[in-house]
């Protein structure tokens, strides 16, 4: 029997590149993660969120149980979904490294699917990105 986990990821930067954050919402497990990741482009932040989310699922489920799960990854980045679904070629070397890392993480699960969703359907993950960035700005202003 296979079980399905639905995950929403988002990454963003204020400036491109600029201070960047990631947000991950694992709807099925009701888990939320947000983190400041330093200076990055929007695309790097989007990929970082996806990598973080898959690694976190592996940790939460336990490496020996991950093969029982299908993971549905919902992103509002059409570019990354199309790259992960082999609809767009990846020319940038850094993006290729991210793609390979995700590809290797996918091997731990029964199946991983990538879906493009409208930004408004990704509001929880988006809010986590903004919370991480706001917390970082607040922290910097205290120094």
| 127 vs 1, more confident | 127
43-66 per-position pLDDT tens digit:
999 999 999 999 999 999 998 899
Closest CA to 13 of 33, 50, 43: 43
* 71 found inside a domain: no
* 143 found inside a domain: no
Residue 18 sits in which domain range? 9-64+78-136
* 131 found inside a domain: yes
**Is residue 5 exposed (0-12), middle (13-18) or buried (19+ Cβ within 10 Å)?**
buried
- Tell me how many domains the chain contains: 1
pTM above 0.75, yes or no: yes
Write the CATH number for 17: 3.30.420.10
* 2 found inside a domain: no
* 26 found inside a domain: yes
* 90 found inside a domain: yes
pLDDT at 2 over 70: no
Pairing of strands 69-75, 111-116: parallel
Name every residue whose Cβ is closer than 8 Å to that of residue 37 and which is 6 or more positions away in sequence: 11, 20, 21, 22, 45, 48
* 108 found inside a domain: yes
């Amino acid at each position: 029997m296979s079980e399905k986990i639905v995950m929403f990821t988002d990454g963003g930067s204020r400036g491109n590149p600029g201070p960047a954050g990631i947000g991950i919402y694992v709807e099925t497990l009701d888990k939320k993660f947000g983190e400041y990741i330093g200076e990055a482009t929007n695309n790097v932040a989007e990929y970082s969120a996806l990598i973080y989310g898959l690694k976190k699922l592996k940790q939460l489920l336990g490496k020996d149980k991950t093969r029982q799960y299908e993971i549905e990854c919902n992103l509002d980045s059409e570019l990354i979904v199309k790259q992960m679904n082999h609809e767009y070629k990846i020319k940038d070397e850094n993006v290729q490294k991210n793609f390979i890392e995700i590809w290797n993480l996918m091997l731990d699960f029964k199946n991983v699917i990538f879906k493009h969703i409208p930004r408004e359907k990704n509001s929880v993950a988006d809010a986590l990105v903004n919370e991480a960035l706001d917390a970082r700005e607040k922290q910097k202003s205290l120094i």
